[in-house]
Structure 1
Amino acid sequence: MTAKIMTLLGTRPEGIKMAPVVKEIERTDNLISIFVNTAQHREMIDQVLDLFQLVPEYDLNVMRPKQRLEELTMRLFQGITPILEKEKPDMVLVHGDTTTTFVGAYAAFLQQIPVGHIEAGLRTNHMYSPFPEELNRQLVGRLATYHFAVTEANKQNLLKENVAEKNIAVVGNTVIDALLEITSRHYQFEGELASIIHSTKKTILVTTHRRENIDELKHVYRAIQRIVEQHEDVQVVFPVHKNPLIRQKVMREFVDMKQIYLIEPLDYEEFLHVLKHCYMVITDSGGIQEEAPALGKPVLVARDTTERPEGIDAGTSKVVGTSEEKIVALCEQLLRDEAAYNEMANAPNPFGDGYSAKQIVHTIQSLAEETRAIYQRNTDEVIYR
């Protein structure tokens, strides 16, 4: 029996992590792929789709300058619902914790279409950390029928929330599938970045973008200043997020700082190859906590909480918060203590082995008849409110 699977995404992280799934669905004989790009992040998602040679069946183009989350939510509902009504998919796949994810899951729920949640079960259990992602993923956890968890710990989070065990599959993270594909390709840096990356200095890759961190970032930036002042053989590559508040703080803190290279956001391919060549990472991103260990790069997490404690437990990452002293101390240790560095760099990556998309699609195939039966039963009984 053939099943129609609708995949929804709209941001760069979603595009990266869903690309292996979309491609696997497209090459599976008994599955029909309906790929919807909401373009929540227009320019950044386009780069990813080009890289993976993916063309959506629908492009909602919802991004607007300075758009509030309320406006974005409204546009997404208005764009997604007519597609669901027209296509009548057997399952809707959403990823992670974005506004596209939440609205897509809720819109499908209102049509009584089963939802599959990829990267399910991540939790900090702090509603505003990260904001709005933590509540988005908790809400999707209630709306979804099927849950594709990255780790056993994620599964346990879902079980604590009374999700049926039969509806949870631990599959690893598709970001590792994408990373291994892209970093296996030959890549040549150009311009100033080529001379930076190929210098003999140890490169610290820095990224910051979390809304809840904005007022505390000055402590992170001062720690970075101290590190480069104390180490002539260290340089920092800092792709600066497009958020105007972040950019303003970064530019103010790092005026004319030698050894610190403030650059525009990198496309996914270039970023991965910078990551591949760097010495270590300081970040408040979630995805990099999974990507860096696959390339043997220690990660210092500049947040007070992380929804990826598996990296902490495995030894690939350490939470440093926004404490200037803690960041400096741990950087000093990793720069001076080879054994401490190797312990983190060589720790096994708990987030995946590169076969997550295949596992997800295999599970979907086994669910095809069940999801079709659920949809048929629900559409026969649906009451519009």
Structure 2
Amino acid sequence: MKIKNLIIFGTRPEAIKMAPLVKEFLKDTQKFETKVCITAQHREMLDQVLEFFEITPDFDMDLMKPNQNLYSLTADIITGLKPILEEFKPDYVYVHGDTTTTMASSIAAFYSGAKVCHVEAGLRTFNKRSPFPEEVNRSVAGSICDFHFAPTKVSEKNLLNENIDKKSILITGNTVIDALHFSSDKVNSSDYSDSETEKLREIVDFNKRIILVTGHRRENHGDGFINICSALKDLANKNDDVQIIYPVHLNPNVQKPVYELLNNIDNIKLIDPLSYPAFVWLMSQSYLIITDSGGVQEEAPSLGKPVLVMRDTTERPEAVDAGTVILVGTQKDKIITEAQKLIDDSTIYNVMSELHNPYGDGNACEKIVQFIKEV
């Protein structure tokens, strides 16, 4: 009998990191029956990723609502998954990382009796309020899951410290590197065309060094974003040979300070959020990346791009230890100081850009599939 897999995700970052796993399982239809369920905790951004990776969901819960909250979203995911789990009866359910979809799906899968597998397991900041609610989401999922696919030895150690059985843990590297390799090959192939990337080419000043900025974290709303914007403004004014490109998140708490403080500055371009392939292309063109994203901390080093992380804590300490990222928080002076070093000193820049990425070699999904075959 075939092993029945159900892969569940709901946000754009999850889709990017789970897409290569979906494709790897679908290579072996003799051994596996693999289906995809999306909660659509995000909608438009999620659909863009599915189209790019050529994945059609088998189940679409379509749960995104205006101004949705964590209470209703959690309840809707758990109750909405019940008939899907009862219909398909999966042997294994795969969840990813730390979203509300991850946490709620792991609970529902546990109720159904399926074995629950956690991709990108074991990340911890040990502060349940930072990031919120992600730290609790991944901890809850970790306590439920039967198998834990940890990206690094640090992640494995965190799980062992929580009394997780070592036999249930596999160090894989991060699936985002698998996705990045696939995506880089695709966007740079001669037969690939993308109108969004073509528009970006018209915006990018190839005579300047590009600083790519992304930001959306709840904990940075308010004074944090005001400090971030103030730092970016100073960097733009001090460095005529730099162009800052900022795809601005749609959240009003982000849009308001960004457009109030950074609009109409010649070498700052505020643009709409980018699709994943356009973002991969822009990362590859960048000199430096300033972000509060988790995934970018893993992706950018594979492209040789130094990263300044606008967070006080990170569940990815491997990157800090390896030197591929620097934590700057939302302190204006620290953001400016660390960015200016990388702008001014080519030696510091070259050392950081050539460091080894601690998140793997792009074979994480292959390792996961082989593990499941041997369980």
How far off is 1:198 after superposition? Answer: 4.8
Count of aligned residue pairs for this structure pair: 366
Asked whether 1:197 is paired with 2:198, we answer: no
Give me the whole-angstrom Cα distance separating, in 1, the residues matched to 2:58 and 2:373.
21
Asked whether 1:30 is paired with 2:28, we answer: no
Counterparts of residues 90-239 of structure 1 (less than 5 Å): 90-185=91-186, 186=188, 189-191=197-199, 193-215=200-222, 216-239=224-247
The aligned counterpart of 1:4 is: 4
Structure 2 gaps of 5+ residues are none
Give me the whole-angstrom Cα distance separating, in 1, the residues matched to 2:24 and 2:46.
19
Measured against aligned partners, the alpha-carbon deviations of 1:325-375 in whole angstroms (never above 9, x if no partner) come to: 1111111110011110011100000112111110011111112xxxxxxxx
Aligned-partner SS, 1:349: coil
8 Å contact kept, 2:205–2:243: no
8 Å contact kept, 2:229–2:257: no
Give me the whole-angstrom Cα distance separating, in 1, the residues matched to 2:170 and 2:318.
17
Aligned-partner SS, 2:120: strand
Aligned-partner SS, 1:120: coil
How far off is 1:74 after superposition? Answer: 1.7
8 Å contact kept, 2:7–2:94: yes
Aligned-partner SS, 2:284: helix
> In structure 1, which of residues 329, 340, 344 is the aligned counterpart of residue 348 of structure 2?
340
How far off is 1:199 after superposition? Answer: 2.0
> In structure 2, which of residues 273, 278, 297 is the aligned counterpart of residue 289 of structure 1?
297
How far off is 1:121 after superposition? Answer: 0.3
8 Å contact kept, 1:124–1:305: yes
Aligned-partner SS, 1:321: coil
How far off is 1:68 after superposition? Answer: 1.0
Give me the whole-angstrom Cα distance separating, in 2, the residues matched to 1:244 and 1:72.
20
Measured against aligned partners, the alpha-carbon deviations of 1:170-225 in whole angstroms (never above 9, x if no partner) come to: 0001111111111122266323x213325210010000100011121111111111
The aligned counterpart of 2:264 is: 256
Aligned-partner SS, 1:190: helix
Letter in 1 for 2:291: T
How far off is 1:254 after superposition? Answer: 1.1
The aligned counterpart of 2:84 is: 83
Asked whether 1:21 is paired with 2:18, we answer: no
Letter in 1 for 2:360: G
Give me the whole-angstrom Cα distance separating, in 2, the residues matched to 1:204 and 1:178.
23
Give me the whole-angstrom Cα distance separating, in 2, the residues matched to 1:197 and 1:152.
38
The aligned counterpart of 1:381 is: none
User: Greater shift after overlay, 180-189 or 12-21?
Assistant: 180-189
Letter in 2 for 1:40: Q
Aligned-partner SS, 1:130: coil
Structure 1 gaps of 5+ residues are 368-385
Give me the whole-angstrom Cα distance separating, in 1, the residues matched to 2:260 and 2:71.
31
Asked whether 1:309 is paired with 2:317, we answer: yes
How far off is 1:114 after superposition? Answer: 1.2
Aligned-partner SS, 2:221: helix
How far off is 1:102 after superposition? Answer: 0.6
Letter in 2 for 1:50: E
Letter in 2 for 1:253: L
Give me the whole-angstrom Cα distance separating, in 1, the residues matched to 2:102 and 2:211.
32
Letter in 2 for 1:201: K
TM-score (norm 1): 0.93
Counterparts of residues 50-69 of structure 1 (less than 5 Å): 50-69=51-70
The aligned counterpart of 1:360 is: 368
Letter in 2 for 1:162: N
8 Å contact kept, 1:315–1:343: no
Aligned-partner SS, 2:35: strand
Letter in 2 for 1:3: I
Aligned-partner SS, 2:66: coil
Letter in 1 for 2:131: P
Measured against aligned partners, the alpha-carbon deviations of 1:255-300 in whole angstroms (never above 9, x if no partner) come to: 3111110000000000000000000000000000000000000000
Give me the whole-angstrom Cα distance separating, in 1, the residues matched to 2:91 and 2:76.
24
TM-score (norm 2): 0.96
Asked whether 1:276 is paired with 2:284, we answer: yes
Letter in 1 for 2:62: N
Give me the whole-angstrom Cα distance separating, in 2, the residues matched to 1:249 and 1:134.
26
Aligned-partner SS, 1:209: coil
Aligned-partner SS, 2:311: coil
Aligned-partner SS, 1:89: coil
Letter in 2 for 1:27: K
Letter in 2 for 1:71: S
Asked whether 1:318 is paired with 2:326, we answer: yes
Give me the whole-angstrom Cα distance separating, in 2, the residues matched to 1:280 and 1:115.
38
